[in-house]
């Protein structure tokens, strides 16, 4: 599925929904890291592949990576995340 097939929440709505973004190990693939997104009820909303996301923000200076990752997630939160 491409980004064009997915509908994303407006950033403002994503900011209200997201409480935390946690880097974790994928329980199904131990050598793989993911970024899990949680809502204010501490429920998992969705996750992003760490390596793929790092490729998306590769051109960002090292000191700005964390902010770039957060911004990418907030602008790419699928609309179905509201149903969680």
Q: How far apart are CA 18 and CA 44, in angstroms?
A: 10
What confidence score (pLDDT) does residue 3 get?
Answer: 60
pLDDT of 5 above 90 = no
| Mean pLDDT, range 28-51, rounded to an integer | 95
pLDDT of 84 above 90 = no
What confidence score (pLDDT) does residue 39 get?
Answer: 97
Contact, 20 vs 39, CB < 8 A?
no
Phi, psi of 55 (to 5 degrees): -65, -35
| Mean pLDDT, range 48-55, rounded to an integer | 96
Neighbouring-strand partners of residue 21 = 37
pLDDT of 13 above 80 = yes
Summarised one tens digit per residue, pLDDT across range 18-31 is 999 999 999 889 88
pTM comes to 0.88
């Amino acid at each position: 599925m491409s980004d064009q097939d997915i509908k994303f929440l407006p950033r403002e709505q994503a900011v209200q929904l997201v409480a935390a973004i946690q880097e974790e190990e994928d329980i199904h693939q131990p050598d793989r890291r993911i970024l899990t997104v949680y809502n204010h009820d501490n429920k998992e909303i969705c996750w992003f592949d760490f390596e793929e996301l790092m490729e998306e923000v590769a051109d960002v200076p090292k000191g700005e990576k964390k902010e770039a990752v957060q911004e990418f997630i907030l602008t790419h939160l699928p609309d179905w995340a509201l149903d969680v």
